[in-house]
Structures are given as C-alpha cells and as structure tokens.
Structure 1
Amino acid sequence: MKIIHKRIYITLIFILLLISGLGARLVQLQLVSTESFTDKKINLIEGSVKQRTQEMVVDDGRGKFEDKNGQSLTSITHNRLVLFPFLEKMKWPVQQVSEIVGMQPKELTNRLANAKTPVVITKELSHAQVEKINALKVPGVFGIPLKDERPVPLAEHLIGLEAQSRQIIEEKYSDKLKNGAIKSTTPVGISGMQRAFDEFLLPEQESKLLYHVDRLGGPMFGIDVKYTGTANPYYPVSVRTTLDLSAQELVENTLNHYKLKDGGAVLIDIKNNKVIAMASRPSINKKDPFKKQNGSDSVENRLLTPQTPGSIFKTVTAAAALEQNKIQPSFTYNCDKSIYGNNVEEDHQKGQLTFEESFAQSCNATFAQLAKEMIISNPNTLEQYADKLGLIQPVGWTGDVFHFEHFKQFLGEKSGRVWTNEREKKVPNAVAQTAIGQLDVKVTPLAVANMMATIARGGEKKQVKAVDALEYKNNTSLYTFKEHKLKGDTINKATAASMQQLLKGVVQSEKGTGRRFQTLPYEVAGKSGTAEINVKDDIVNKWFAGYFPADDPKYAMVVVDLNTKSAISPTNSVFYDIVKGMYDLNTR
C-alpha cells in the first residue's frame, strides 16, 4: 500500500512539474518574450496578428519623386473599386455597386469567387463614382485612389531602383533595424537618386486597408474594415526634381521611336542649369540590373559615364585657340590633308578653309595643326581649356546637406579626362588625335551639355541640378538645394561670344555639319561629333550637342548614340524631333 501511495505522489509531483513548466512556457510566450522570442528575435504578437489579419497595402510609405510641378514621376494614381473576400459570404448591394461602376453584377461576383485577398477591379473610376460608392457605406466595398507603376518608366537611370537588401540595411541602418523603425525587408535604394536620397525616403509606416478573420476566413469582431496609416504630417518626404514631366515623356518617346539602343539624351535649362529631361539607354533589366553586358550593366547611366567625344572636343581646341589669339584673319588651312599630313580620300577633301569654315565643316587638319602649335608653348593647354569648359571634373550638384558631407545628386557620375600618358604631349600624332577628341579623351554627355550651357551663358560655369528641394508631406520645405558655381577658371566673355558664333555657323553654314537643323522653328547652335571606336568594323559614337534658341538660349542638349554605325545612327533625327517637340510644348 505504501508503495502505491509513493507512486501516486511521484506521479502527482511529475504532473505538477509538467503543468508548472507549461505555465512558465505560457508566461514566457504571452508576457515575457512576446516581441523577442528565441535567438531569432521573433515577434509573437506581430506574428499572431498577421496570422488572423488580411490586408491590402495602399501606399508603401516610401518617399516619392516628383517633377518640378509636383507630378509623380514613378507612379500614376487611378481610382479603383476594391472588394474584400468576406463579401462572398454575405449579402451586399452588388446590383447597386455594378450600376455605379458600369459593370455587370456577375463580373463582380465572379471576381470574388474563392478570393483570399482583397480584389482590385482595374476599371478606372471617376471622382464622382468613387464618392457614390463610398456613400453606400458598405463594409468591404471601397472606392480608393491606388498608385500603379508607370507602364513606361521615366528617367529610370536617373531616379534609380529600390529593392529589398538586408545587406544594405544592416550596413547603413543597423540602429533603425534594432529599434524597429524599419524591417530587414524594407525596400531601400540600390541605384540612382533612390540610393543617393535613400535616408530621406525611408518609410515611416505603410498605409493599409485591413480586416481580421477567423480560421475559415470570415470576418471577426463584426465586419469593419480598418484603415491604418501614418498620421505624421511631415512624412513621407517628396523629392522635388527639376524634371519636366512633359519634356521627359517627349525625350523618352523620341528615343523609343528611333530605337536608340545605347546612349541617350539630356536636356538642360540654361538659365538655372537644371536638368529638364534625362534618358539613358539601354533600359534597365529589372530582373538582373547589375548583370554585365558589353562591359556595362543596364543600370549604368550612360550620360554620367565618360565616352569618346570625337569632334565635339574641337569646341575645346577652338576656345583655346581663340583665347590665346592663335587665329589669323583670312588665314586658310589645307583640309585636303589628314591630321598626319597625308592626303585624305577624295570624297572627304574640303579644300582650303578658314578657321570658321573648318569648325562648321569639322575639318580635322585645322584643329590638329592648332593644337600642335599651342602645345609647344603650353603642354597643358588642352586639359586646361577642357577644365575651363567643365569637361574634366564632375559637374553634378555637390554640397553639404545636414550631416551628409559632399552629398551628390548624381550618384555614380564620373570625371572626364584628356590624357592618360603625359609623354604623349610630346608626340605630334598623339596631340593631333587628342585635339579632335580621339585617343584617350573621354567626357560625360552631361558635362558636354553643361559645356554648351556654359558657352550660351557667356562663360559662366555652374553645377548641374536634378533636384530643387526635399519637401514634407504638408508641402513645407525640408531642404532647398541652392545654386552652386562650378569651381575653377572659365573662358572669358569675348571667347564665349566667338564660340557662340562658331556654333551657329555649324547649323547656318551651307556646308555645316548641322545644316539639317535649319528648318526647325527654333534656331539651333551646336556641334556634331563622330568618334571612331572600332575602325575595322566602322563602329562610332555619334553625337550632336548644342543649344536653342540660338539668339536667346533657353535649352542645352546632347544626344549621343554609342557603339553604332554612322550611316544608320538616328542621333540627328532624335535631336531634331526633341527641339521641335519642345517648341510645340512651349507654344501650345
């Protein structure tokens, strides 16, 4: 008997210990480790709520990019009808809703059949239709504005990409991750301005429609659908860019129309030195943006990357010759000769040309000869004048923004160069090639556009802006990006005035390389360029850079077609259509 009692006591003690252990475990789960369970820091409360909640994200809470007039550059807002799944199990005025939206009742009920998440009816609704739907006050039936990505991305290389990156979050935002301000799955900027402005764009809170469900998916606590979103009047922040939505669409559509595959176009407001439109090609491969192809990845902005300029660089050689008084009135140059002194092919011979005629017709021999003369007295002539015109240093806006020192609007913009080997300054043939933008010369298309704006302004150098301001949600200013001068010496006003006449001559001259643009409604001043990349296969970079209207400059522009064949390049057609398009936009 005693043995039996002893066994009962032991069993009871074991059961008591088991119950105590389970109780302690429940205390740990429900009271102690509710937000940081196990070494993986699992939030049990969050997980429980998520398990019995279905939601629809209306806005991810990340800051937005807007054009200069406040229009979204990355999304289009559409009014949509949203239906929640529990409607399938209840009686609701489907006939009334269908009449408002102009659809058959069966279309709506079919969309709801077996739905597990909220259903978005993609038909566009008017503001009046939205008001009528919401006036019904039917739980689970909403007319709301939803943001969709633009079908054709605008300025995608400039604006950049956002994506989930645990590595970036742990490297840059470990404190925010620890205090719960962001999650490891929060999207962050991985390229372009999304990356440059990332810290300002991080979301405070998502805006959601949500409801609680039981294990069968039916509504709990009644059938009220709740809206959750930030009540903060300041966030999310908007990045007010300098882009003009209409001009950006014009540039994108023109590049697409002519199927320009590698290169792009950039358009600058000359007075304020702001980018109005910028489009790079090829388009970004969203599935693998950093995959290398022909030495570059699709996310690389070609307009911020140094390219061989060819005859565009004659602008530098000409400015140097003018400012150093190397031009003799009525003196002519033998343009039947190559830069090496031998005769060129008969169909490329131009005869004896003056300096002005040489610039208009892009005679290589003239600028090779001038460079050889100038470099004797000053071996650094070409890079000094390239710098005076803003082709060497990065030209994008740089400055201190709050605690960010040397903040750059154009992340990834690279410097230009004239020489890679100082000894080549003593080699006549190397000097000749450099004078016409070949050999080791490389400049960014953005810097070339800035050079044209600098000449149009009379020699005044400025940094280029792509963003005017950061603005709070309530439209008050967080930060304004002031105009910055570009450091370094400049060409004098007399040289700038002479260069303006030379650039006009390229278009106005009967034999000028830009004479095609004579029929445009805006008078154009500019310079063409054909840079030899692969002579054997006839591969070139085809450029046209200039500004317009020539007598009252408002816009500077560069169009460049990289790694193409000269005979099929659409560079001039793209430039022509954009100038005409800008005239139409300004006069409609």
Structure 2
Amino acid sequence: MVIKKRAIIILVVILLTLTGLIGRLMQLQLVSTETFTNRDINLIEASVSQRTQELVIDQGRGRFIDRNKKALTHEYYPTLVLFPFLKNIDWPAEDVAEIVNISATTLKDEIQEAKKPVIVGGDRPIELTESQMNKINNLKIPGVFAVHRQYELDSDIAEHLIGLIRENKDLFEERYPEKTYLPRNTKLGITGLQSTFDEFLLPEGEAKLLYHVAGDGGPLFGIDVKYTAPANPYYPVAIQTTLDKELQLLAERVIEKNNLKKGGIVLLDVESNDLLAMVSKPDINSSNPFEDGTAQNQMIMPQFPGSVFKTVIAAAAIEHQQVSNDRMFNCDQDLYGEGPAEYPHGMLSFQNSFAKSCNYTFAAIAQELIQKDQNVIEQYSEMLGLLGPVGWNGDVFRFQDFKQLPNEYNGRIWTDEKDKHVAKAIAQTAIGQKDVRVTPLGIANMMSTIARGGSKKEVRTVSDVLYKNGTTLFSFSKQDMEGAKIAPYTASRLQELLRGVVTTGTGQRFADLPYKVAGKSGTAETGKKQGEVGLVNKWFAGYFPFENPKYALVVVDLEQPGSESVANTVFYDIVQGIYQIEQEKGTKTDD
C-alpha cells in the first residue's frame, strides 16, 4: 500500500514537471516570442541572430559635416569585405588581389582564422577607388564585396557643440511615441546639435550584409549573402554645419597645448556671422557627463565679462556725445573716485582710457549716461548684439521658433532695478561686474557686429540639411537680428578704440602678429578663491585683419588665478595658426 502511494506521488510529480516543461515550451514558442522576461527579449530575433553572421555597413543615424563637407562625426570609406566561408571553397583570390594591388596570399590569410565577416586591412583597412570597387563587384564572387562602410572618426570634434547620443528607452517613448517601427534602444541626441536635429538624424534602419550559418559556422542555405538596407534612398541625412574643420582642429590643438582648463573659444566669420569654430573646456566626461557638469557648453553660458563690457559703455558714450577729444579723466583714482587706483595711469583721454582700461573713466561716464536714460546700458548691449540669444532662430517645416542653439543662455545687466540709483552698483556694472553676465558667443557676436560697421546678424551653426545623395532637404538662410543698431559712425569710432588697445594699450602683445588685430581685454573677479588667491575670468575678444575684417575671435579662461591665465597666449596662437593656414592655401592656389 505504501509502495503504491509512493508510486502515485512520483507519477504526479513527473506529470507536473512535464506539464511545467510543456507550458514553458509553449511560452517560449508561442506566447512570449517577442517579449520574453521583464527585459522584453525578442526570442525570434535572438534565434535568428544565433544563426546569422552580419556586418553592419551603416548604422543609419545621420552625420555631421563641416562647411566643406568634411566629416565631423563619421565617414564612409570604400572597403573590401570577405566572408569566412570563402576559406572552404575555391574562389578567384588572384583576380581580386590584382585589382587591389596586394598578394592573393595576404587576402587568404585575412580569413584563415575568421569566424565573422572581415574588413581587409583590419584597423587600417585598405581604401579602394570607385574604379576598384566596380571591378570587384563586377566579378560577382559570393562572399566578396566592395562597399562604402561607415566609420566613426578617431576623436571627437567640437564635442560640446555637436553633442552626445545615448540609448534611453523612456526618452524615446516620450519623444517619439509614433515611431513604433524603430527599436526602443535607438540612440537619441541628448545634448548639442545631436539633440536639436535629432528628428532629422533618426535612422530608418541599418544597412548590412548577412548570411545564415550552421552550427559549425558553414553556410546554412548555400553561400548567398543578403544585403539589407532601409527602403528610403534619401536617408540617412547629413547636417552641414558652418564649422571649418581645419580651424576647429587648430583651436582644439592650441587649447590643449596651453592647457586651458575651463573656458574656451568662439570664432566667427565676420561677413556671414557663421560659426567657424567653438571649443569648450573641460572635456566631456562621457561616462557621467551630467553629474559633474562637463556636458555644459561654457561658450553659450553666461559669464562675468569684466572690462570687455566697457565696449558697451563706449558705444553709448559716443552716440550720446558724452565725450570729446579734449576731455580728460583722472585715472589715478579708483573705480569709485574715492581713493588711489590699483594701477594708476595719470590723466587720460577717453581713447587712452579705453586702451589702458581705466575703470574710473567708464564708471564716471556710466553715471552720466544713466542720469539721462536709466535703460541706456541694456539698450546698447542689445544694439551691439550682445545680450542674446544670438543663435539662428526661425521656422523649419512644422517646427515653429526652431533654435539651432536651444540651450543658449540670455545675457543680463541688472537683477534689481533699484541698483540704477546706486552709484557704486552703476560703477561696478560699467566695468562688467556686479550682476552683468554675458555669453562668450554673445561677445563674439558684438565684435563681429562692430567689425561689420554695426550690422547685426544671427549666428548660424548649421547651413543645410542634406539628403544622402547630396541634394538639399532644408537650407537655413542668413538672418539679420531684429531691433535697433548702432550708427556706422559709432562702429567706426569703436573700431579705432579697439585697435588702440593693441597699438598702445593692454593688448600690445598682439602688435607683432602677421594680422593687425583690434580687440579688448578683460579681467573679471568671480568671487571664488583657490586658497587665498582670488579666481578671475580672463578675456581677450577682437577681430582681424583690422583693415578688412574676416574673423572675430573670443578667448576666455574661466576661474583661474590671474597669473596663470593662458587667454592671451591662446588668442595669439590661434591668430598665428589661422595666418599660416591662409598662407598655405594661398600657396596651393598659386601652384
């Protein structure tokens, strides 16, 4: 009786186990084929993947190029692909070898140990000509392909401006609920232009070569290789930026060489007001960019400008006829006229006060201006194109009020209107301290505006969105900035003042450059300290060549001990580097 009960129990256990196994098998085969476990594993795709070898040719996301169509994020190279089943069959390796100018033995060695498709040349693939590609593909050898394959560039270029891409399933569902045909782990732009132009850049799908294999790695259904790609021949698109890759790389090299830790540069084309180069430091910590703030682009964030801001006071003084050639200022006095100046200069004219950056002169002028018009400082900041936002803004298809730089901060002059009645607050504001904050991009725009004679323009960072075949999907036209502007006479006087800084003032270091430079220096107290040493923002902002302005350049070294600042050195080296590049281009043109 006991034996019978035990037998029944064992049979029941076996039956339950078999039922559970059958149920599990049904779940795997019929029920949860596409959403297995809480990680939503697609078992069908996983099964196919186990039997498939593939080589991704193009991940499908759009790319960024510079104004000359040079790659900034990834490039397409014509490469030779060999599939591993070739080692088990006879194929005319000699014919392929003759076309690519390498030995047949070398070709065969490439696949001897291969278990997956290989790029001939490995990390340094041989680069084919279009003629070589056509000859190889015309041979129609199974498992031998000449294709344009996508490669990421070895280093990040303009990383803060172009931005980051990441997988984020929640963000994907929030941003693109209607794009159910794309996997939820599709990479999205999360900062910079990658984020701004994300909807243009989204992939339609990958392009790849694939074939099915048996357990031993041999072909499962013969030696046919399948090419799969999105059906839309116009994608992926290319975002053509206004950057000049050569100038961008120059700026990045100069900043690295001089070890600028925090800050950066902005370089504009004066005529078009297009952005040619932008570098922000510190570098992005790709493993944790938001936790430590390294993803922030310092060039579009508000900073203390220091004496660079005196340019605004000068413009207002000129237009309000507040200064004359014979008026002198006592530059032995401090900012408030209450004691001796830290750097006494004696009695100076308005022009020499600007060149020597006399604080007392501009505090006194600002007091007089505000007595006549309390809004004069912010008005002239706007007229010079300083406050921002200064980036391109307009309508793009269904996107109204599309901003190329959506995270660009506005500048500000006052936080409390009552300060306009406080003499010391006005004095501090006049020299770019107190509550004054402006972006380096805004200062570059101001210098570009002055260099053009007062004409204000929005800063473009992207000129076109191009289809895969190179035709235009959308063009961003050059746009003037709205609002009042300074008179041409005022711009001409400001040009003279800025040139005087280099010939007789605080910018004399730049007097021996091959280009004549006009500009303004600035040192702003930040209120921060390193031990007992106060940290400052050091600036030099200007344009060149003086007679025929082509470039506007701003360099800022943020929160550094003044004695350790490299701002002037970086400015000097970039101007020198641009001159050398221009000379080389001229030599090539002559040749």
TM-score by length of 1: 0.87
Q: 1:10 maps to what in 2?
A: none
Question: What percent identity do the matched residue pairs reach?
Answer: 51
Mapped to 1, the partners of 2:143 and 2:288 lie a distance apart of: 38
| 1:452 Cα deviation after fit | 0.7
Alignment of 1:8-19 (within 5 A): none
Q: Deviations over 1:393-452 (max 9, x none)?
A: 311111121111211101310011111222222222221111111111110000000001
Runs of 5+ unmatched residues, structure 1 = 1-14
| 1:461 Cα deviation after fit | 1.4
What one-letter code is carried by the residue in structure 2 that aligns with 1:149?
E
**Alpha carbons of structure 1 residues 91 and 291: separation in structure 2 relative to 1, 3 Å:** farther
Q: Which range moves more in the overlay, 419-428 or 446-455? A: 419-428
What one-letter code is carried by the residue in structure 2 that aligns with 1:561?
D
Contact 1:527/1:546 (CA < 8 Å) preserved in 2?
yes
Q: 2:7 maps to what in 1?
A: none
**Counterpart selection for 1:482 from 474, 477, 480:** 477
Contact 1:193/1:411 (CA < 8 Å) preserved in 2?
no
Contact 1:236/1:473 (CA < 8 Å) preserved in 2?
yes
What one-letter code is carried by the residue in structure 1 that aligns with 2:362?
F
**Alpha carbons of structure 1 residues 144 and 476: separation in structure 2 relative to 1, 3 Å:** closer
| 1:390 Cα deviation after fit | 2.1
Contact 1:449/1:558 (CA < 8 Å) preserved in 2?
yes
Q: Deviations over 1:249-298 (max 9, x none)?
A: 22122212222121111111112111111111111111222122xxxx11
Q: 2:150 maps to what in 1?
A: 147
1:161 aligns with 2:154: no
Q: 2:8 maps to what in 1?
A: none
Mapped to 1, the partners of 2:455 and 2:346 lie a distance apart of: 36
Q: 1:225 maps to what in 2?
A: 225
Q: 2:5 maps to what in 1?
A: none
Mapped to 2, the partners of 1:172 and 1:472 lie a distance apart of: 23
| 1:317 Cα deviation after fit | 1.0
What SS does the corresponding residue of 2:533 show, helix, strand or coil?
coil
What one-letter code is carried by the residue in structure 1 that aligns with 2:73?
T
Q: Which range moves more in the overlay, 96-105 or 398-407? A: 96-105
Contact 1:524/1:546 (CA < 8 Å) preserved in 2?
yes
What SS does the corresponding residue of 1:458 show, helix, strand or coil?
coil
Q: 2:442 maps to what in 1?
A: 447
Mapped to 1, the partners of 2:567 and 2:422 lie a distance apart of: 33
| 1:137 Cα deviation after fit | 4.4
Contact 1:29/1:37 (CA < 8 Å) preserved in 2?
no
Q: 1:172 maps to what in 2?
A: 175
Mapped to 1, the partners of 2:533 and 2:94 lie a distance apart of: 68
Mapped to 1, the partners of 2:102 and 2:559 lie a distance apart of: 52
**Alpha carbons of structure 1 residues 48 and 383: separation in structure 2 relative to 1, 3 Å:** same
Q: 1:4 maps to what in 2?
A: none
| 1:46 Cα deviation after fit | 3.9
**Counterpart selection for 2:415 from 408, 412, 420:** 420
Q: 1:12 maps to what in 2?
A: none
What SS does the corresponding residue of 1:490 show, helix, strand or coil?
coil
**Alpha carbons of structure 1 residues 39 and 578: separation in structure 2 relative to 1, 3 Å:** closer
1:281 aligns with 2:281: yes
Q: 1:192 maps to what in 2?
A: 192
Cα RMSD (Å) of the superposition?
2.9
Alignment size in residue pairs: 558
**Counterpart selection for 2:332 from 327, 333, 336:** 336
| 1:379 Cα deviation after fit | 2.3
**Alpha carbons of structure 1 residues 64 and 76: separation in structure 2 relative to 1, 3 Å:** closer
Contact 2:74/2:151 (CA < 8 Å) preserved in 1?
yes
**Alpha carbons of structure 1 residues 480 and 101: separation in structure 2 relative to 1, 3 Å:** closer
Mapped to 1, the partners of 2:39 and 2:515 lie a distance apart of: 65
Mapped to 1, the partners of 2:150 and 2:38 lie a distance apart of: 38
What one-letter code is carried by the residue in structure 2 that aligns with 1:343?
P
Runs of 5+ unmatched residues, structure 2 = 1-14, 586-591
Mapped to 1, the partners of 2:572 and 2:494 lie a distance apart of: 22
**Counterpart selection for 2:314 from 312, 318, 327:** 318
Mapped to 1, the partners of 2:258 and 2:204 lie a distance apart of: 42
What SS does the corresponding residue of 2:387 show, helix, strand or coil?
coil
1:307 aligns with 2:303: yes
Mapped to 2, the partners of 1:39 and 1:300 lie a distance apart of: 35
**Counterpart selection for 2:514 from 521, 543, 550:** 521
| 1:204 Cα deviation after fit | 0.9
| 1:307 Cα deviation after fit | 0.7
**Counterpart selection for 1:125 from 124, 127, 134:** 127
1:392 aligns with 2:387: yes
Mapped to 2, the partners of 1:231 and 1:581 lie a distance apart of: 46
Contact 1:254/1:577 (CA < 8 Å) preserved in 2?
yes
Q: Deviations over 1:11-47 (max 9, x none)?
A: xxxx9xx99xx99x989968x9977889987766544
What one-letter code is carried by the residue in structure 2 that aligns with 1:321?
A
Mapped to 2, the partners of 1:27 and 1:451 lie a distance apart of: 67
Q: 1:543 maps to what in 2?
A: 539
What one-letter code is carried by the residue in structure 2 that aligns with 1:287?
S
Contact 1:80/1:122 (CA < 8 Å) preserved in 2?
no
Mapped to 2, the partners of 1:40 and 1:450 lie a distance apart of: 50
Mapped to 2, the partners of 1:171 and 1:331 lie a distance apart of: 63
1:375 aligns with 2:370: yes
Contact 1:309/1:531 (CA < 8 Å) preserved in 2?
yes
Q: 1:3 maps to what in 2?
A: none
1:473 aligns with 2:474: no
| 1:386 Cα deviation after fit | 1.4
| 1:234 Cα deviation after fit | 1.9
Contact 1:260/1:570 (CA < 8 Å) preserved in 2?
yes
What one-letter code is carried by the residue in structure 2 that aligns with 1:415?
N
1:354 aligns with 2:354: no
Q: 2:61 maps to what in 1?
A: 62
| 1:107 Cα deviation after fit | 7.0
| 1:134 Cα deviation after fit | 4.8
Contact 1:68/1:244 (CA < 8 Å) preserved in 2?
yes
What one-letter code is carried by the residue in structure 1 that aligns with 2:166?
A
